[in-house]
Structure 1
Amino acid sequence: MAKVLIVDDAKFMRMTLSNILKKANHEIVGEGENGKEAVELYRSLQPDVVTLDITMPVMNGIEAVKAIKKLDPNAKIIMCSAMGQQKMVVEAIEAGAADFIVKPFEESRVIEALSRALM
Protein backbone atom coordinates (compact mmCIF):
# COMPACT_ATOMS: atom_id res chain seq x y z
CA MET A 1 0.00 0.00 0.00
CA ALA A 2 1.34 3.39 -0.99
CA LYS A 3 0.61 6.84 0.41
CA VAL A 4 -0.42 8.98 -2.55
CA LEU A 5 -0.72 12.73 -3.02
CA ILE A 6 -3.05 13.70 -5.89
CA VAL A 7 -2.61 17.11 -7.50
CA ASP A 8 -4.90 18.32 -10.28
CA ASP A 9 -6.80 21.57 -10.72
CA ALA A 10 -9.95 19.63 -11.70
CA LYS A 11 -11.83 18.19 -8.72
CA PHE A 12 -13.41 15.54 -10.95
CA MET A 13 -9.98 14.26 -12.02
CA ARG A 14 -8.78 14.10 -8.41
CA MET A 15 -11.92 12.17 -7.49
CA THR A 16 -11.51 9.74 -10.39
CA LEU A 17 -7.87 9.03 -9.53
CA SER A 18 -8.67 8.77 -5.85
CA ASN A 19 -11.36 6.16 -6.52
CA ILE A 20 -9.07 4.06 -8.74
CA LEU A 21 -6.24 4.14 -6.20
CA LYS A 22 -8.44 3.43 -3.17
CA LYS A 23 -9.89 0.43 -4.97
CA ALA A 24 -6.32 -0.85 -5.36
CA ASN A 25 -5.79 -0.40 -1.59
CA HIS A 26 -3.65 2.73 -1.74
CA GLU A 27 -4.06 5.53 0.78
CA ILE A 28 -4.76 9.07 -0.42
CA VAL A 29 -2.88 11.28 2.05
CA GLY A 30 -3.70 14.60 0.41
CA GLU A 31 -5.03 16.52 -2.58
CA GLY A 32 -3.87 19.76 -4.15
CA GLU A 33 -5.08 22.07 -6.92
CA ASN A 34 -1.83 23.51 -8.26
CA GLY A 35 1.92 23.00 -8.38
CA LYS A 36 2.62 25.32 -5.47
CA GLU A 37 0.27 23.28 -3.25
CA ALA A 38 1.92 20.10 -4.57
CA VAL A 39 5.32 21.23 -3.30
CA GLU A 40 3.97 22.37 0.10
CA LEU A 41 1.93 19.18 0.56
CA TYR A 42 4.86 17.01 -0.49
CA ARG A 43 7.01 18.66 2.16
CA SER A 44 4.46 18.19 4.95
CA LEU A 45 2.96 14.79 4.00
CA GLN A 46 6.01 12.93 2.64
CA PRO A 47 3.92 10.70 0.33
CA ASP A 48 5.34 7.61 -1.40
CA VAL A 49 4.02 8.79 -4.77
CA VAL A 50 2.65 12.00 -6.25
CA THR A 51 0.32 12.21 -9.25
CA LEU A 52 0.70 15.61 -10.87
CA ASP A 53 -1.33 17.23 -13.62
CA ILE A 54 0.81 19.09 -16.16
CA THR A 55 -1.45 22.06 -16.85
CA MET A 56 -2.38 23.87 -13.63
CA PRO A 57 -2.65 27.45 -12.40
CA VAL A 58 -0.09 29.20 -10.12
CA MET A 59 2.70 26.67 -10.85
CA ASN A 60 2.46 24.04 -13.58
CA GLY A 61 3.30 20.36 -13.19
CA ILE A 62 6.75 20.61 -14.76
CA GLU A 63 7.84 23.41 -12.41
CA ALA A 64 6.39 21.39 -9.52
CA VAL A 65 8.38 18.26 -10.52
CA LYS A 66 11.59 20.30 -10.47
CA ALA A 67 10.74 21.85 -7.09
CA ILE A 68 9.80 18.50 -5.50
CA LYS A 69 12.91 16.83 -6.91
CA LYS A 70 14.99 19.62 -5.34
CA LEU A 71 13.40 18.82 -1.95
CA ASP A 72 13.73 15.07 -2.42
CA PRO A 73 15.79 13.67 -5.31
CA ASN A 74 14.14 10.27 -4.73
CA ALA A 75 10.57 11.54 -5.03
CA LYS A 76 8.32 9.29 -7.13
CA ILE A 77 6.16 11.41 -9.41
CA ILE A 78 3.64 10.30 -12.02
CA MET A 79 2.51 12.96 -14.48
CA CYS A 80 -1.07 13.13 -15.73
CA SER A 81 -1.67 14.68 -19.11
CA ALA A 82 -4.42 15.14 -21.62
CA MET A 83 -3.94 13.84 -25.14
CA GLY A 84 -1.51 15.76 -27.30
CA GLN A 85 0.82 17.01 -24.58
CA GLN A 86 3.71 14.76 -25.65
CA LYS A 87 6.26 17.56 -25.67
CA MET A 88 5.38 18.47 -22.09
CA VAL A 89 5.41 14.83 -21.01
CA VAL A 90 8.97 14.49 -22.34
CA GLU A 91 9.91 17.66 -20.46
CA ALA A 92 8.38 16.25 -17.27
CA ILE A 93 10.27 12.95 -17.61
CA GLU A 94 13.49 14.90 -18.19
CA ALA A 95 12.72 16.92 -15.05
CA GLY A 96 12.50 13.68 -13.07
CA ALA A 97 8.98 12.25 -13.35
CA ALA A 98 8.94 8.45 -13.15
CA ASP A 99 6.03 7.84 -15.52
CA PHE A 100 2.94 9.42 -17.02
CA ILE A 101 -0.69 8.50 -17.46
CA VAL A 102 -3.06 9.95 -20.02
CA LYS A 103 -6.54 11.32 -19.37
CA PRO A 104 -9.17 9.97 -19.44
CA PHE A 105 -7.67 7.55 -16.92
CA GLU A 106 -7.59 3.86 -17.66
CA GLU A 107 -7.70 1.96 -14.39
CA SER A 108 -5.16 -0.72 -15.29
CA ARG A 109 -2.70 1.86 -16.63
CA VAL A 110 -2.92 3.96 -13.46
CA ILE A 111 -2.21 0.94 -11.24
CA GLU A 112 0.63 -0.20 -13.52
CA ALA A 113 2.28 3.26 -13.45
CA LEU A 114 2.02 3.39 -9.66
CA SER A 115 3.48 -0.09 -9.22
CA ARG A 116 6.34 0.73 -11.56
CA ALA A 117 7.11 4.02 -9.78
CA LEU A 118 7.33 2.18 -6.45
CA MET A 119 9.90 -0.35 -7.65
Structure 2
Amino acid sequence: MKRILVVDDAAFMRLSLKTILQRNGFEVVGEASNGLEAISMYSVLKPDIVTMDITMPEMDGVEALTEIKKQDPSAKVVMISALGQESWVRRAIMLGAKGFVVKPYKEEYVIQTLSKL
Protein backbone atom coordinates (compact mmCIF):
# COMPACT_ATOMS: atom_id res chain seq x y z
CA MET A 1 0.00 0.00 0.00
CA LYS A 2 1.50 3.33 -1.07
CA ARG A 3 1.68 6.03 1.59
CA ILE A 4 0.55 9.49 0.40
CA LEU A 5 0.97 13.04 1.72
CA VAL A 6 -1.81 15.26 0.34
CA VAL A 7 -0.95 18.96 0.03
CA ASP A 8 -3.60 21.55 -0.90
CA ASP A 9 -4.69 24.81 0.73
CA ALA A 10 -8.38 23.98 0.18
CA ALA A 11 -9.71 21.60 2.83
CA PHE A 12 -12.45 20.31 0.51
CA MET A 13 -9.84 19.40 -2.13
CA ARG A 14 -7.77 17.51 0.46
CA LEU A 15 -10.90 15.65 1.57
CA SER A 16 -11.88 14.85 -2.02
CA LEU A 17 -8.43 13.52 -2.87
CA LYS A 18 -8.14 11.62 0.42
CA THR A 19 -11.49 9.92 -0.23
CA ILE A 20 -10.47 8.90 -3.76
CA LEU A 21 -7.11 7.59 -2.59
CA GLN A 22 -8.45 5.59 0.35
CA ARG A 23 -11.22 4.10 -1.80
CA ASN A 24 -8.50 2.82 -4.16
CA GLY A 25 -6.18 1.26 -1.60
CA PHE A 26 -3.76 4.10 -0.86
CA GLU A 27 -2.94 5.17 2.70
CA VAL A 28 -3.10 8.92 3.33
CA VAL A 29 -0.47 9.46 6.03
CA GLY A 30 -0.79 13.23 6.25
CA GLU A 31 -2.35 16.43 4.95
CA ALA A 32 -0.72 19.83 4.60
CA SER A 33 -2.34 23.15 3.70
CA ASN A 34 0.75 24.91 2.33
CA GLY A 35 4.28 24.28 1.10
CA LEU A 36 5.95 25.00 4.44
CA GLU A 37 3.82 22.38 6.18
CA ALA A 38 4.49 19.96 3.33
CA ILE A 39 8.26 20.23 3.74
CA SER A 40 8.22 19.60 7.49
CA MET A 41 5.66 16.79 7.20
CA TYR A 42 7.65 15.13 4.40
CA SER A 43 10.76 14.91 6.56
CA VAL A 44 8.81 13.31 9.42
CA LEU A 45 6.39 11.04 7.52
CA LYS A 46 8.62 9.93 4.60
CA PRO A 47 5.63 9.24 2.31
CA ASP A 48 5.98 7.22 -0.89
CA ILE A 49 4.21 9.93 -2.92
CA VAL A 50 3.23 13.58 -2.42
CA THR A 51 0.29 15.16 -4.25
CA MET A 52 1.11 18.88 -4.39
CA ASP A 53 -1.19 21.74 -5.28
CA ILE A 54 0.65 24.55 -7.06
CA THR A 55 -1.07 27.72 -5.85
CA MET A 56 -0.98 27.97 -2.04
CA PRO A 57 -0.31 30.64 0.58
CA GLU A 58 3.01 30.98 2.45
CA MET A 59 4.90 28.78 -0.03
CA ASP A 60 3.66 27.55 -3.39
CA GLY A 61 3.89 23.97 -4.55
CA VAL A 62 6.80 24.53 -6.93
CA GLU A 63 8.95 26.02 -4.14
CA ALA A 64 7.94 23.17 -1.82
CA LEU A 65 8.81 20.63 -4.53
CA THR A 66 12.27 22.19 -4.82
CA GLU A 67 12.86 21.96 -1.06
CA ILE A 68 11.57 18.39 -0.81
CA LYS A 69 13.82 17.32 -3.69
CA LYS A 70 16.79 18.89 -1.84
CA GLN A 71 15.91 16.74 1.22
CA ASP A 72 15.27 13.62 -0.85
CA PRO A 73 16.30 13.59 -4.51
CA SER A 74 14.27 10.42 -5.04
CA ALA A 75 11.02 11.98 -3.75
CA LYS A 76 7.97 11.25 -5.89
CA VAL A 77 5.84 14.39 -6.18
CA VAL A 78 2.81 14.72 -8.44
CA MET A 79 1.63 18.27 -9.06
CA ILE A 80 -2.08 19.06 -9.02
CA SER A 81 -3.01 22.23 -10.86
CA ALA A 82 -5.98 24.12 -12.18
CA LEU A 83 -6.44 24.67 -15.88
CA GLY A 84 -4.32 27.54 -17.16
CA GLN A 85 -1.22 26.78 -15.06
CA GLU A 86 0.67 24.94 -17.80
CA SER A 87 3.84 27.04 -17.42
CA TRP A 88 3.96 26.19 -13.69
CA VAL A 89 3.51 22.52 -14.48
CA ARG A 90 6.34 22.57 -17.05
CA ARG A 91 8.60 24.25 -14.49
CA ALA A 92 7.66 21.66 -11.85
CA ILE A 93 8.44 18.78 -14.22
CA MET A 94 11.84 20.34 -14.98
CA LEU A 95 12.45 20.53 -11.21
CA GLY A 96 11.70 16.85 -10.72
CA ALA A 97 7.95 16.36 -10.39
CA LYS A 98 6.98 12.85 -11.53
CA GLY A 99 3.69 13.87 -13.11
CA PHE A 100 0.71 16.16 -12.93
CA VAL A 101 -3.05 16.04 -12.62
CA VAL A 102 -5.29 18.89 -13.80
CA LYS A 103 -8.21 20.10 -11.66
CA PRO A 104 -11.02 19.27 -11.91
CA TYR A 105 -9.67 15.74 -12.00
CA LYS A 106 -11.22 12.40 -12.77
CA GLU A 107 -10.76 9.65 -10.17
CA GLU A 108 -9.49 7.16 -12.77
CA TYR A 109 -6.76 9.54 -13.94
CA VAL A 110 -5.57 10.30 -10.40
CA ILE A 111 -5.31 6.59 -9.58
CA GLN A 112 -3.66 5.76 -12.91
CA THR A 113 -1.06 8.51 -12.44
CA LEU A 114 -0.19 7.53 -8.86
CA SER A 115 -0.19 3.80 -9.56
CA LYS A 116 2.58 4.25 -12.14
CA LEU A 117 4.97 5.57 -9.48
SS at match of 2:39: helix
TM-score normalised to structure 2 length: 0.98
Deviations 1:65-91 (A, max 9, x none): 000000000000000000010000001
Letter in 2 for 1:10: A
| Distance across 2 between alignment mates of 1:11 and 1:33 | 8
Number of aligned residue pairs: give it: 117
CA RMSD of aligned residues (A): 0.5
1:8 pairs with 2:8: yes
How far the C-alpha of 1:11 sits from its partner, in A, is 0.4
| Preserved contact between residue 17 and residue 105 of structure 1 (Cα < 8 Å) | no
SS at match of 2:37: helix
2:44 match: 44
5+ residue gaps, structure 2: none
SS at match of 1:80: strand
TM-score normalised to structure 1 length: 0.97
| Distance across 2 between alignment mates of 1:38 and 1:92 | 16
SS at match of 2:38: helix
1:96 match: 96
Identity of aligned residues (%): 53
| Distance across 2 between alignment mates of 1:39 and 1:113 | 22
5+ residue gaps, structure 1: none
1:80 pairs with 2:80: yes
| Distance across 2 between alignment mates of 1:95 and 1:40 | 19
1:58 pairs with 2:58: yes
SS at match of 1:31: strand
| Distance across 1 between alignment mates of 2:34 and 2:48 | 19
How far the C-alpha of 1:47 sits from its partner, in A, is 0.2
Letter in 2 for 1:105: Y
